[in-house]
Amino acid sequence: MLSVDKLCVGYGEADVLHDVTLRVGEGEIVAVLGANGAGKTTLLAALSGLIPARAGEAMFDGRSLVGAAAERIVGWGLSHVPQGRRIFPGLSVMENLVVARTAATDRAEGGFAAAVAEAEELFPRLNERRDQLGWSLSGGEQQMLAVARALVARPKMILLDEPSLGLAPMIVETMFSTILEIRRREKVGMLVVEQNAEQALRVADRVYVMELGRIVLEGPADEVARDPAIERAYLGA
């Protein structure tokens, strides 16, 4: 579904991603681990059309993402949940969901109303907060809204950037359990960028590890979790 080959991305004179190659299959959850500054957020921004690639290729569902506009990429079925949620604080919960409506939303059975109902079934708190403005939500509720907004677009795959960032441990546990539930219900693939390696390894099928803009390790999640270097660097062993 998603195929990235030797992707190079940078800002100004500085190169950030160097020959990044990875794959995400249909309905698969793939995690990208790495420290701050490894290039994880830049990778997702490049895939969603927010910053241009300098070299390499990225294909999604048979279409090239390189040079494509962000709104076109969303229309193809690739949704991005950015780091820090980035909801619209002056809009209500429902208005944030309306903004995410796409042609795919309307083509699906039940249209927009069904998409919202499914999102609220996953996140019942949003149903209780429908008319509240985004700024008044807790961090956990804002993260729920950011994921729900991505789901309303009826994506084939979701890019999730640091879904646990700034959340209480109990909310983090709930969020990652919901990631598994979304995959089960919606058959949606996910590329998850995360510093919480323990949670990411719990839900992922496969894992890539990034250091300084390069992929340095990849493999099934259970194998990567047993790697002594990963245990020392990310799992506190």
Q: 2-86+155-234 in CATH: which number? A: 3.40.50.300
Interatomic CA distance for residues 74 and 61, integer angstroms: 12
Q: How crowded is the C-beta side of 140, counted as CA atoms within 13 Å? A: 14
**pTM of whole model > 0.85?**
yes
Looking at residue 196, its pLDDT comes to: 84
pLDDT along the chain (237 residues), means of 10: 95 91 94 88 95 95 94 94 88 94 90 92 91 90 92 94 85 88 87 88 92 91 84 63
Interatomic CA distance for residues 236 and 206, integer angstroms: 20
Q: Write the burial class of residue 90 (CB in 10 Å: 0-12 exposed, 13-18 middle, 19+ buried).
A: exposed
Looking at residue 68, its pLDDT comes to: 94
Q: Give me 3's structure tokens.
A: 């195929």
Interatomic CA distance for residues 237 and 235, integer angstroms: 6
Looking at residue 236, its pLDDT comes to: 56
Q: Domain map of the chain by residue range?
A: 2-86+155-234
Looking at residue 237, its pLDDT comes to: 52
Nearest residue to 22 via CA among 39, 45, 38, 43: 43
Query: Which neighbouring-strand residues pair with 29?
Result: 190
